[in-house]
Structure 1
Amino acid sequence: MSPRAGNAGPHTLAFVESPVQLLNVLEWAHAHAPGAGLTLVVLSPVDPMTRGQLRRMSELAREEGHTVRWEEARNGPTAPLQTIGGLTTLLRRAGRILLGDPFSRYVQLLLTITRAREVVVVDDGTATMEFVGQLARGERLVRWHRKGGRPGPKDLLLAPVSAAARRRLTPGGKRSVEVFSSMPMEDTPPGVTVTANTFSWTRARFGPPRITKGADLVGTSLVETGVVDSDAYLEAVRSLATKHGATRYFAHRRESTEKLHRLAVETGLQIVRPELPLELIARRGPIGSTILSFPSTVVHTLPLALSGTDVRVAVCDIDPTWLTEHASPRAQGFLSGVTDTARDAHRLAAVPAV
């Protein structure tokens, strides 16, 4: 579908690598450029669940009048060069760039090519909080769960690219930088404009949902990222489900099949693999009257998406004893901060550790 006519200012080119990033591009377009189409480039990952959600989100984007370009950006060793080569002309013509993951090496490389004078970072969840803080403190861009470790050979090789991208993400001269986010920001870098993502597109497009009497539990990939011990996580899920009467477990797209199978067998929870980001699933319904979560993006976004309903979002703290020996020294403080700043979520104490 061709973009709808409208006044969006400079031509806008968006790069996304996850369903949530694509959702937040749609939220930005709804808030900033209603009626105007943009060009949305999907740098497709290899994970099947993520790809499926991205395909479904791409359909919604086309329905909204945006042009979607699907790139098999990781399909073999030559894919990155082919992808970047095919995007160079678009990059150099774009007056505005939207991106969802400033930590992505792919996105950092693309940023070194663009001449765009407007750069917008849309939410990629809790990572956005870390990005803004690192930019404000003048630190190198490192994902929070990796911070504290030594840079590997790949990090050192790509350090010049990361440094160049960081300069592109810093306002200066005629270049403006905006962060479009639903997350709380403690430190705002000088010159960066922060605008609120209130999930107005999601509420206008879906719902209100039918609310059931039970509770639903939201999964997390903290085990997969090496932060939380798998046995401790399973026991925490079992305890929460028992205490609050949860019957469904909405899996994070990065959770392993093996872990989810074990959860189903040992807790009796119905495992649901959502076809869309949870904000849209919850808004469409049916959804439990209580949504239980560990510290994650959804404790900030679900209250916004479900504004005007009677659904309660509750967040369970991560007990320090659940952390693995490989977890970043910053992990506990960062996760506590995610919970502390969740304005509209009810806080639950950590369930007893095993």
Structure 2
Amino acid sequence: MTPKKKRRSAVAFVESPLQFLSALESHEPTEEMLIRARASAKGMTSFLDAFDPAWLPKNVRLDRDGAKPGLLRKTAFDRIYLGDACSGQVHRALALAYLERRMPEVVILDDGLATYSAIEILTAKRGPLVRPRQKLKASRTVMAAHVADRLRGLATVGKLRWHTALPVAKSLRKAFLKSGGEITRHRFEHLQTLPTGGSHPRDNPVIGSSLAADGLIDAFAYRAWVDEIIDAHGSITYYPHRRETEEFLTDLAQDERVRIKNLGLPIELRLINLPPNSTIRSLPSTAAVSLAVLNPDVTIDVTEIPAKWWTGASPDSLRQSLNAQSVKADDDS
């Protein structure tokens, strides 16, 4: 009798709803996956409370303890999935657990448009894994540089992969592959099997943006953009970003033509399987890209951010990369 093949063991560290959904898409039937969600991250508690555990794939478990070095010391995982490759909590767990040990295969998951920055850093010969606009203390910079070097080392031996639904520019793809990394793609296959329903096209869905709340674009210009959509279509359903302020949303809700959907589940779970004649309106965002994948017959109307909207709090590279994003992947991605 042939003995049963042992299942691979994997852990996924996630700190946002999109990272969580990306982990589900990355799971392979032959592996046991533990998802460690950082419940203290903004928006995660409400998301985890709203997420039905029955939606987890077979052989996937979930807990809310986040990335801890103790877990990595005690368990010899065959693979680690990273939702936020620039997370300080993740860096600490990896640095302490693998200080004198070989690191297993690592898979980078989608973390919004910030994923592009992380991949660019890993394709460079040196430099710490930090988010755009992030300023770290010296000790954190050293740790972020150490983890980046360890991941670059994994790439050289074929143990670093990026699993993504995002469109990948040819130059970035070429650089990552040249470094030894691998790119695999998904189209939210698991997500499309979930019974989460959709929204009626008359809702005129508008995807909220965090850019004004983060101080990157002018709040009055952003509100004027939303008002223009309302005036043009009579009513909208507004899906807030998790970092938008209560003050902004309360003010917006004063307009009786606006229906605000404050839901714990991410927009990818709510605006799935829309009828073909629907239109979703958005500024450049990862959600717009994800929804284009999930709804190929739906119009995704993305408004390019005018130069005069920017507050000057973001580097030119971020502005250029945001406006350069397409909701369609490259032909040869």
Q: Normalising by the residue count of structure 2, what TM-score does the alignment of the two structures yield?
A: 0.84
Contact 1:249 1:270 in 2 (8 A): yes
Shift of 1:88: 3.8
Q: Equivalences for 1:232-271 in 2 at 5 Å?
A: 232-265=221-254, 268-271=257-260
- Cα distance 1:284–1:299, how it changes in 2: closer, same or farther (>3 A)? closer
* Structure 1 CA distance for aligned equivalents of residues 250 and 279 of structure 2: 24
The reply to whether residue 66 of structure 1 matches residue 60 of structure 2 is yes
Q: Which moved more, 1:215-224 or 1:62-71?
A: 62-71
The reply to whether residue 109 of structure 1 matches residue 92 of structure 2 is yes
- Cα distance 1:45–1:262, how it changes in 2: closer, same or farther (>3 A)? same
Contact 1:290 1:312 in 2 (8 A): yes
* Structure 2 CA distance for aligned equivalents of residues 212 and 173 of structure 1: 48
Contact 2:9 2:31 in 1 (8 A): no
Contact 1:23 1:57 in 2 (8 A): no
| Correspondent of 1:143 among 116, 120, 131 | 131
* Structure 1 CA distance for aligned equivalents of residues 14 and 267 of structure 2: 17
- Cα distance 1:237–1:332, how it changes in 2: closer, same or farther (>3 A)? same
Query: Which residue is equivalent to 1:167?
Result: 149
1:215-271 CA-to-partner distances (Å, cap 9, x unmatched) read 110001111222111111111111123224442100111111111112222584111
Contact 1:99 1:122 in 2 (8 A): yes
**Letter in structure 2 aligned against 1:168:** R
Shift of 1:39: 1.0
**Letter in structure 1 aligned against 2:231:** T
The reply to whether residue 93 of structure 1 matches residue 81 of structure 2 is no
Contact 1:215 1:245 in 2 (8 A): no
Query: Which residue is equivalent to 2:68?
Result: 84
Query: Which residue is equivalent to 1:350?
Result: none
Query: Which residue is equivalent to 2:219?
Result: 230
Contact 1:317 1:336 in 2 (8 A): yes
Query: Which residue is equivalent to 1:158?
Result: 140
1:104-146 CA-to-partner distances (Å, cap 9, x unmatched) read 11112222224432100111121112211222234433323x1
**Letter in structure 2 aligned against 1:94:** F
- Cα distance 1:205–1:261, how it changes in 2: closer, same or farther (>3 A)? same
| Structure 2 segments unaligned to the other structure (5+ residues) | none
* Structure 1 CA distance for aligned equivalents of residues 49 and 196 of structure 2: 21
Contact 1:210 1:287 in 2 (8 A): no
Contact 1:25 1:122 in 2 (8 A): yes
Contact 2:237 2:260 in 1 (8 A): yes
* Structure 1 CA distance for aligned equivalents of residues 195 and 273 of structure 2: 5
Q: Equivalences for 1:1-354 in 2 at 5 Å?
A: 10-29=8-27, 33-34=28-29, 36-47=31-42, 49-57=43-51, 59-60=53-54, 62=56, 64-71=58-65, 84=68, 86-90=70-74, 92-112=75-95, 113-114=97-98, 115-138=102-125, 139-144=127-132, 146=133, 151=135, 154-170=136-152, 171-172=154-155, 174=157, 176-186=159-169, 187-188=172-173, 189=176, 190-206=179-195, 209=198, 211-265=200-254, 268-283=257-272, 289-307=278-296, 310-338=297-325, 341-343=326-328
1:14-66 CA-to-partner distances (Å, cap 9, x unmatched) read 1111111111111111xxx126431111122253x331103333725546441
Query: Which residue is equivalent to 1:78?
Result: none
The share of aligned pairs that are identical, in percent, is 26
Shift of 1:337: 1.6
Contact 2:279 2:299 in 1 (8 A): yes
Q: Normalising by the residue count of structure 1, what TM-score does the alignment of the two structures yield?
A: 0.80
* Structure 2 CA distance for aligned equivalents of residues 51 and 213 of structure 1: 30
Contact 1:211 1:311 in 2 (8 A): no
Could you list the runs of 4 or more consecutive aligned residues of structure 1 that deviate by over 6 angstroms after TM superposition? Answer: 284-288
* Structure 2 CA distance for aligned equivalents of residues 288 and 265 of structure 1: 29
**Letter in structure 1 aligned against 2:167:** P
